Amino acid sequence: MSPAPDDRLWGHWRTIALLCLGAAAARITTSYALPNVAHPDETFQYLEQAYRLVTGKGLIPWEYQVGARSWLLPWIITPAVALGHLLSPDPVVLRTVVAAFLAILSSGAVIAAYRIGLVKGGRIHALFAGLLTACWAEIVQLSPHMLADTISAITLIAALAFGARLGRSTRREILFAGIMLGLTIIVRPQLGPACVVAGLAVAGLLPDRRWVPMAVGLLLPIALLGVTDWLTWGEPFHSVLLYVRINGGGMANLYGTAPPGWYVANEAMIWGVALPAIILSAVFGARRAPLPLAAALIIIATFSAVAHKEWRFIFPALPLLFTVCGIGTVELARIAADRFGGPFTRRRLYVASALLWITLSLLSGVRGMMRPLWLQDAGAIHALDRASADPGACAIGIDRPEQWAHSGMVRIRPDMRLYAAVAAAAPDFNYILSFTAAQTSDRFASWGFAQISCADDGACLYRRPGGCTDGNAHQLQAPPAEDARRLLEDFRRR
């Protein structure tokens, strides 16, 4: 069975192109104007390791010392890192190239949202589903960051787009849906429950011939992960098995815990005045597209059951949720137009609804809960950029050395080095990045350093005249925190 004409995307390519261009422009512009770090993982688990593949330089966190991470995600971002490194030694250029690459990649979620809206409703439903996925503040903020959460968000909504016609899906659509679900699972295994529900919805609850392409699709990425770990760590699925064993021993909880309702309360505070519109449109959208909303709710429930919580963990639920909200917005506009008529024509209500969602996104993006996310680690980024822009800079000392997670070789000029800012190593660096502000200025002055900038978040940059010796004894390392180190030692003894 071939797709119905209205299900085909080619006839909508101009609309899709505009949505994708707008989405990419918003992501690239904000990431350039407001550089930030969503989580140290984006630097040290992915960008730094890709940079290490390109240049041979980079800090190695404990996960890559013991093999608790797959090399698949660093490989994905390596071409963008290599291109940025080739274009310029300026870390700003590399960062912008990476953000552009991820912004283009995230346009896949916009296209997927459009397809779901097209299948479930029609052109206008598709337009609003794509628009909300393209412009909602949370999605714009996190999409240009290299994280398992952002990549799995793309593959999961793509899976639902390929299988959007559910019982009418072709074997090829089911195969591609299976591949996307398999990729989602190997990138973010915690999304397994949502993937199981989505897979059963697309392929059917009871075994039949549709299960074959779904099973083949699922197994291909899983086999890829096994081969990758075999080649890189010497054992199939080594990274997943080790990651589960270590985190099952309590490693994740060392980084903080929160009650089960934390995600719901956090999102309610982020959404603020948009909360009623999100709930109402999601309810009406679920009448046409229940599966994306069900998958989003399963993701939130799954991570709510885990003690360690971070906002980024439920990011894959957001494109799904706002796809449904887009579909529901059209349903509400049509109901209002049919009931009130007169000046409340559908066209006017569509325009007003689009403007309302853009306004709500802006309000959500600049309110208190979102504001810190746009500025997270901005002080350190600007300080590293400023040092890298100085032709005389040869190395940076990090004070204190345990603050290594705010640095990274990928964030400085290639000919520079990173050191622990200790007195014995002072001749080896001519810049210091400190996070204790005025508490350390007298100590650094005794080493010959003067403060040249200090950000609101306490990241201060110091410089001394002259060059650097080429010592190795105090080059910066990336050891685990003390509690994590003890847990790793206990794990190794077992």
Average pLDDT, the chain: 93
In terms of domains, do 143 and 169 share one? yes
In terms of domains, do 341 and 212 share one? yes
In terms of domains, do 331 and 307 share one? yes
Pairwise pLDDT comparison (436 vs 356), residue with the higher score: 356
323 belongs to a structural domain: yes
Pairwise pLDDT comparison (23 vs 8), residue with the higher score: 23
pLDDT of residue 2: 40
pTM of the full structure: 0.94
In terms of domains, do 27 and 122 share one? yes
479 belongs to a structural domain: no
Q: How many CB atoms lie within 10 A of CB 7?
A: 14
Q: Could you give the maximum distance between any two Cα atoms of the chain, in Å?
A: 80
77 belongs to a structural domain: yes
In terms of domains, do 384 and 439 share one? yes
107 belongs to a structural domain: yes
**Which pLDDT tens digit goes with each residue over 297-318?**
999 999 999 999 999 999 999 9
Query: H or E element: which one contains 229?
Result: helix 211-233
Query: Helices marked H in 163-210 — which ranges?
Result: 171-187, 192-203
In terms of domains, do 290 and 418 share one? no
**Which pLDDT tens digit goes with each residue over 311-362?**
999 999 999 999 999 999 999 999 999 888 766 688 899 999 999 999 999 9
Rounded distance, CA 250 to CA 253, Å?
5
| Residue where one domain finishes, among candidates 359, 374, 389 | 374
In terms of domains, do 159 and 248 share one? yes
In terms of domains, do 294 and 423 share one? no
Residue recorded with tokens 């003894």: 493
pLDDT of residue 3: 43
In terms of domains, do 335 and 439 share one? no
Residue recorded with tokens 């603050």: 403
**Which pLDDT tens digit goes with each residue over 467-493?**
999 888 899 999 887 777 777 777 666
Q: What would the two tokens of residue 175 be?
A: 């195969």
In terms of domains, do 368 and 391 share one? no
55 belongs to a structural domain: no
239 belongs to a structural domain: yes
Backbone angles phi, psi at 450, to 5 degrees: -120, 145
In terms of domains, do 350 and 390 share one? no
301 belongs to a structural domain: yes
| Residue where one domain finishes, among candidates 374, 389, 424 | 374
Number of folded domains that form the chain:
2
pLDDT of residue 340: 82
Q: How many CB atoms lie within 10 A of CB 450?
A: 11
In terms of domains, do 367 and 382 share one? no
209 belongs to a structural domain: yes
> What range does the domain containing 438 cover?
378-463
